[in-house]
Amino acid sequence: MHAVIRSYSGSGAKELFELMETRKDEVESVIGVVTGFVSYTAVQTDDGGISVTICQDKAGTDESVEAARNWIAENAADLDTAAPSVSEGSVIVHLS
């Protein structure tokens, strides 16, 4: 399995996560159909938030990054949110 962590902070980040919370079903439908999808978690922090997507392989997490980028462009462009910091790698332990 492969994971990608997107960390959003700065201008518009807090508002982005507030929007994601109000449109939770839509966010789930965009990320949940990614090829090889395993799990998704979004966490709101004091200054924005992080999301963690786990897929069967890197192709799936790459697809999730693109899907997230497109959703933000289509639904939250007015928030002027900076691009996230992205970390990714192979999953060594996954509990659910």
The model's pTM: 0.91
Asked: is 2-90 a CATH 1.10.240.10 domain? The reply is no
For 19-31, the DSSP string reads: HHHHTHHHHHHHH
Sequence spans of domains, the chain: 2-90
Q: Which two tokens mark 70? A: 């497109």
What pLDDT does 11 receive? 84
Sites in the chain below the pLDDT cut of 70: none
Say how far apart CA 96 and CA 91 lie, in whole Å: 13
Q: Cα–Cα distance between 62 and 60 in angstroms, integer?
A: 5
